[in-house]
Amino acid sequence: MSEPQPARPRLLPPPALHLRAMDNLRFIRETMEGAAYFTGVSGIGEMAVGVTALGAAYVASQQSTPAAWLLVWLVEAVIALGVTTAAIVWKARRFEIDLLSRPGRQFALGLFPPLIAGALLTPVLLRAGLFDALPGVWLLLYGTGVVTGGAFSVRTVPVMGLAFMGVGAAALIAPAPWSDGLMAAGFGGLHLLFGAVITWRHGG
């Protein structure tokens, strides 16, 4: 009867070379997509939105009726969305980023729900006669979207979102006549400030 042999560890075959190569290529692609989106927010686009928002704040402050004030900001929202989208597409093309890649979808999934919530809450607040609450709610929800959407972006982006939330909170408790100033400071000033920082640090 033979002596019992010590158990030898079973050697697992190494993964096939081509599978490792495919895995490496996948890793490179995902890292590049993540890194490109990391700095994908366009600073120039943010600054452009800041300029249009300052203009909108001035025009809105000259309006005599709440309906006209609201219309000015709704038009500005459409312009800002167009400018931001165009700027992101321009930067994505410049760095050859696929906008529908996983990081892009993550960004959209973080950004849009609070914006949609803001759009839905607007008529509800108007019906409830809470017109003065609109600037605070808009700034707060926009800031929330920027924080959640920018969670995987450079630190400047979520910090910008937090700044918007701060201005939004201030607008909610500030007297109504301050609304135009806070809207200008938020959508105008913060976009200009952080847009300049993003452009300076991360190009475009």
**Binding site residues, other proteins, CB under 8 A:** 16-18, 21-22, 24-25, 27-28, 31-32, 34-36, 38-39, 95-97, 154-155, 202-203
Percent of the chain that is helix, strand, coil (3-state, to 5): 80, 0, 20
Residues 6 or more apart whose Cβ sits within 8 Å of residue 180? 57, 60, 61
- Tell which residue, 110, 109, 170, has the closest CA to residue 138: 170
The smaller minimum CB distance to other proteins, of residues 25 and 109, is found at 25
The smaller minimum CB distance to other proteins, of residues 97 and 185, is found at 97
Shortest distance, position 52 Cβ to other proteins, whole Å: 27
Shortest distance, position 178 Cβ to other proteins, whole Å: 31
Shortest distance, position 19 Cβ to other proteins, whole Å: 9
The smaller minimum CB distance to other proteins, of residues 24 and 62, is found at 24
Q: What is the C-alpha separation between 122 and 124, in angstroms, rounded?
A: 5
Shortest distance, position 27 Cβ to other proteins, whole Å: 7
8 Å CB contact between 53 and 187: yes
